[in-house]
Chains A and B, each alone.
Chain A
Amino acid sequence: MSDWPKVRLHVVTGKGGTGKSTVASALALALATRGKNVLLCEVEGRQGIARMFDVDPLPYQERRLTTGLPDDDGGRGVVHALHIDAESALLEYLSMYYRLGRAGKALDRFGVIEFATTIAPGVRDVLLTGKVYEAVQRNSRNKSAIEYDAVVLDAPPTGRITPFLNVSNELAGLAKVGPIKAQSDTMMTLFRSPRTAVHLVTVLEEMPVQETADGIAELRAARLPVGGVVVNQVRPRDLDADDLAAARAGTLDRARIEADLVEGGIAVSPALVDGLLAEAADHAERRALEDSQRRLVAGLDVPSYELPRMAGGIDLGGLYELAGHLREQGMA
């Protein structure tokens, strides 16, 4: 049923302001069907998940967040959340893979941890993606941890996504041999496999669509698997094509609209009708622009999904509504 049955790691990216965190959250809710455990991760220190789901700021610890969107028969899975920060990830990594004992403490004491996570470039991304990898690919070292059916990553924006996932490349010049190198290669194997999909969120405007196209090209060049394009904040479609054309041309039937308004029980004034006509013309112009951008999205040759603009803003109920749209269209 889903377009992505094999995918265990859903990476959600998008240009700033397009709503990538919203889409990542809605996707997690949509994936959490009966009996499934889904993990929603964020890596940018914004605590966006906590705000969206109205819970306390998340620690570096997997927390049960909420239940998923119910199936047709009312079954629902569980969505967990994790806020990944580089420093905690490094400490966890060291204790999981190296019994460093005193040396581990010394690393912290001498500022190596801070150094590694703030100054040493690339290392930060590797630590963040490393933890994501661990959550997808649970092994015996992390005992009693939940085995997730899917992991959704609220990832850095489109402009940064390819270097972010292309960890072995980032480390290439720095760690040429040794266990870190071997591990980053293993991570790349997952990120490049059909078990990963990088979804891109856009809105139907010129710059975000262009950036999406560029992002797809970069991902493909790095042999990272491109998932779907989620077109967010789509305007309502209350007028048909003929009406839109008339609205643009300024030839909508004014007398007819006035009569309808009276019939609908509204006190008609010229100002009111002028306002409605002006709004219609403006809407028609934006819809035309949306349509031209939609054609560009269709030309990207990846599955696309559309989510409506929510006039009243997005609350928890709104997230479930968006999750419903994603499931209906086969993204989850």
Chain B
Amino acid sequence: MTPRSSAHRPSRVGPAAAPGHHAGHLDVDALLDDLRTGIIVCCGSGGVGKTTTSAALALRAAERGRKVVVLTIDPARRLAQSMGIEELDNTPRPVKDVAGSGRLDAMMLDMKRTFDEVVLSQASPEKAQQILANPFYIALSSSFAGTQEYMAMEKLGQIHRDAQADGSYDLIVVDTPPSRSALDFLDAPERLSSFLDGRFVRLLLAPAKGPARLMTAGLSLITNALTRILGAQFLKDLQTFVTALDTVFGGFRQRAQQTYSLLKADGTAFLVIAAPEADALREAEYFVERLSEDDMPLAGLVVNRASPEPGGELSADEAMAAAQRLRRTGDGALTAGLLRLHADRVRMVERERTLRDRFATAHPQVATTVVPALAGDVHDLDGLRRVGDLLARRH
């Protein structure tokens, strides 16, 4: 085993790393302009602006000359419309009105269709139809838990292979599903293996052959129990499903392994997206640690939706004290209101800064960029350009 580089071990840094000595600003333009950057994966918890960030990065890269495709999961309707991808057809479509010499394609992930395509490409037509019609397959391929992550990575692998072959893109930006399980794809090869090699599946596949016969007594106990609880049809469907999928899984596992290697390679950059709130930053820590554990190339942290810096030097306490004095005199309701707003903003900004500093102390190697909250939602290319400017801005 090769020792991991110390740069990848954030949380184990001892007292030698003094607070405040961290990697500093994330240079977004340098990342986008570096032709070695082939894949950018944005991950983070829900509601932190992942999709908008992905789209803004992709547009900025395209307008700086790259050939970009952005793979989004669930964009807001108007943003999707403005990018011309409101139709879920699993194919990258060119985005109009992109300035400069580069170009941008966008697509929205169709989880079920991606899954179906994998099955169709791996199994004989007859077998494939059998799988596609199985109730377990239908539930698995259309339920959200876990499948979306696999399929996002499957699609990434596909696009990457195609792009390598025909040179269609030199940068792929991937948005990930909004959950902690967004990193489940890191475990995909392992989970698929443990699924296939799991004893239960082995039993279902070959109940009466070889060494499994020794377990037959145990098996009949199980099948009887399951039949009692779930009904006989359930077990039959399950058996059909597992048997059918067994033929496909070899290829599936291999692809998952390839995608995993691709993610680990130097051309990939992971960005963790967060908001300056305790929960979101805790999730960000989880992502940073998980990525570091797997030696995934983490490029940095994007803190979205930061409260705008207050103007002037007046502290929250001074502002509140003055507001109270004004209220007592009865006049100056407007000014008292302004002072209270100011105090509120100073407090928010201070709290957010404390949270960010704590994160930086615990993870000194993670370069960070902070994006102030916009007043409204982003739903056109100009809005995305504005976000792109803010992402790349030096503080």
Contacts and interface: CB of A to CB of B under 8 A. Distances in A.
A106 B221 contact: yes
Interface stretch (B90-98, B106-114, B139-147): B139-147
B375 A282 contact: yes
Contacts of B221: 102-103, 106
Interface stretch (A11-19, A60-68, A187-195, A219-227): A11-19
Contact of B229 (A48, A106, A178): A178
Interface residues of A, number: 80
In the complex, which of the residues A46, A102, A208, A266 has the most CB atoms of chain B within 10 Å of its own CB atom?
Answer: A266
B46 A289 contact: no
A46 B322 CA distance: 42
A109 to B, nearest CB: 7
Contact of B222 (A112, A175, A179, A205): A112
Given A100-B225, A178-B231, A274-B311, A157 B237 contact: no
Interface in B338-395: 338-342, 344-345, 347-348, 351, 375-377, 379
Contacts of B326: 260, 263-264
Given A15-B46, A236-B344, A282-B308, A276 B234 contact: no
A6 interface: no
A279 interface: yes
Contacts of B143: 121-122, 163, 170
In the complex, which of the residues B199, B282, B331, B338 has the most CB atoms of chain A within 10 Å of its own CB atom?
Answer: B338
B312 A239 contact: no
B377 A110 contact: no
Interface string B198-224: 111101000000000001001101101
Contacts of A312: 347, 351
A180 B218 contact: no
B21 interface: no
Given A121-B145, A272-B314, A104 B225 contact: yes
Q: Which secondary structure dominates where chain B touches chain A?
A: helix
B136 interface: yes
Nearest to A102: B221
B290 interface: no
Given A18-B47, A261-B335, A275 B222 contact: no
B48 interface: yes
A120 B134 CA distance: 13
B34 interface: no
A265 B322 contact: yes
Contact of A180 (B231, B321, B340): B231
Interface in A152-192: 157, 159-160, 163, 170, 173-181
B36 interface: no
A115 interface: yes
Nearest to B334: A243
Contact of B338 (A120, A170, A257, A286): A257
B332 interface: yes
Contacts of B46: 15-17, 157
B17 interface: no
B5 interface: no
Contact of B325 (A17, A106, A111, A264): A264
B7 interface: no
B144 A163 contact: yes
A286 B375 contact: yes
A112 B226 contact: yes
A124 B341 contact: no
B45 A16 contact: yes
25 contacts: A16-B48, A17-B277, A94-B229, A106-B221, A107-B225, A110-B199, A114-B198, A118-B146, A121-B147, A159-B144, A236-B340, A238-B338, A238-B341, A256-B335, A261-B322, A261-B339, A264-B323, A266-B318, A269-B312, A271-B313, A272-B314, A275-B314, A278-B311, A279-B338, A311-B351
The 10 closest A-B pairs by CB, nearest first: A275-B311, A16-B46, A17-B47, A178-B231, A264-B322, A173-B135, A260-B335, A16-B47, A238-B337, A275-B312
Given A174-B230, A264-B336, 12 more contacts: A110-B215, A121-B136, A176-B231, A208-B47, A236-B341, A238-B341, A261-B339, A266-B314, A269-B312, A272-B313, A286-B375, A313-B351
Interface of A: 15-18, 21, 46, 48, 51, 94, 98, 100, 102-104, 106-107, 109-112, 114-115, 118-122, 124-125, 157, 159-160, 163, 170, 173-181, 205-208, 210, 236, 238-240, 243, 252-253, 256-257, 260-261, 263-266, 269, 271-272, 274-276, 278-280, 282-283, 285-286, 289, 311-313
Interface of B: 45-48, 74, 76-77, 135-136, 138-140, 143-147, 178, 180, 191, 195, 198-201, 203, 215, 218-219, 221-222, 224-226, 228-231, 233-234, 237-238, 275, 277-280, 282, 308, 310-314, 318, 321-323, 325-326, 329, 331-342, 344-345, 347-348, 351, 375-377, 379
